[in-house]
């Protein structure tokens, strides 16, 4: 005999939206946004960028970033992602920005980070990594809007704008 659970969309008592609810026991399977962590990583006056080896946006340039793992701090996740994507040893300096990407159910947290050594190499999720000065950032080939936002907001922070940035208006 198979004990297969069946879920249906319902508005549970005390809730204000549809949830997936087990038809047998009433268990509510909450689906929450994913958290993405990453960094604008600099070494001297150059920025670390990675050409994506995976979809979405394979072949486009991004900053080292990815999904936060369970039982991991956001800072540790950003350090891990830089190592996985660019074999980069970084030091987190502070939170730069957070973005609400509602159409993807994501919260993105981007840090300011310093590269401890210019020795970087493509990890399994990158086709290529490099350190580039501001004027050589491939703006037309950036993978996601939040990559542009983070780079531009880093420039604003460097120019003396204070605070943690969020989605541009």
Q: Could you tell me which of 153, 118, 112, 136 has the C-alpha nearest to residue 61?
A: 136
Question: Cβ distance 69 to 83 under 8 Å?
Answer: no
Q: What is the reported pLDDT for 45?
A: 95
Residues of the chain with CATH 2.20.70: 1-31
In degrees and rounded to multiples of 5, residue 98 shows phi and psi of -130, 145
Q: Which CATH number fits domain 34-158: 2.40.50.140, 3.90.79.10, 3.40.50.720, 2.60.40.1230?
A: 3.90.79.10
Q: Read off the pLDDT of residues 49-91 as tens digits, 9 standing for 90 and up.
A: 999 999 999 999 999 999 999 999 999 999 999 999 999 999 9
DSSP E strands in the chain: the ranges are 7-10, 19-22, 28-29, 34-43, 46-52, 61-62, 65-67, 90-101, 106-115, 126-133
Instruction: Select the CATH number that applies to the domain covering 1-31 from these four: 1.10.3470, 2.20.70, 1.10.10, 2.60.40.
Output: 2.20.70
pLDDT of residue 2: 57
- Least confident interval from 2-11, 24-33, 134-143: 2-11
Note whether 29 and 18 are within 8 A (CB).
no
Confidence label for 3 from pLDDT (cuts 50, 70 and 90): low
Q: What is the pTM of this model?
A: 0.89
């Amino acid at each position: 005999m198979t004990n297969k659970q069946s879920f249906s969309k319902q508005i549970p008592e005390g809730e204000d939206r549809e949830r997936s609810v087990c038809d047998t026991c009433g268990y509510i399977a909450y689906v929450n946004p994913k958290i993405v962590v990453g960094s604008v990583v600099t070494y001297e006056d150059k920025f670390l960028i990675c050409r994506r080896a995976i979809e979405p946006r394979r072949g486009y340039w991004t900053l080292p970033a990815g999904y936060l793992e369970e039982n991991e701090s956001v800072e540790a996740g950003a350090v891990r992602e830089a190592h996985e994507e660019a074999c980069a040893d970084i030091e987190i300096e502070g939170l730069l920005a957070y973005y609400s990407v509602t159409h993807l159910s994501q919260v993105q947290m981007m840090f300011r980070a310093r590269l401890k050594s210019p020795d970087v190499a493509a990890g399994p999720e990158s086709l290529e990594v490099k350190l580039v000065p501001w004027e050589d950032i491939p703006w037309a080939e950036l993978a996601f809007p939040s990559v542009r936002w983070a780079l531009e907001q880093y420039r604003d922070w460097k120019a003396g704008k204070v605070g943690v940035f969020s989605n541009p208006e």
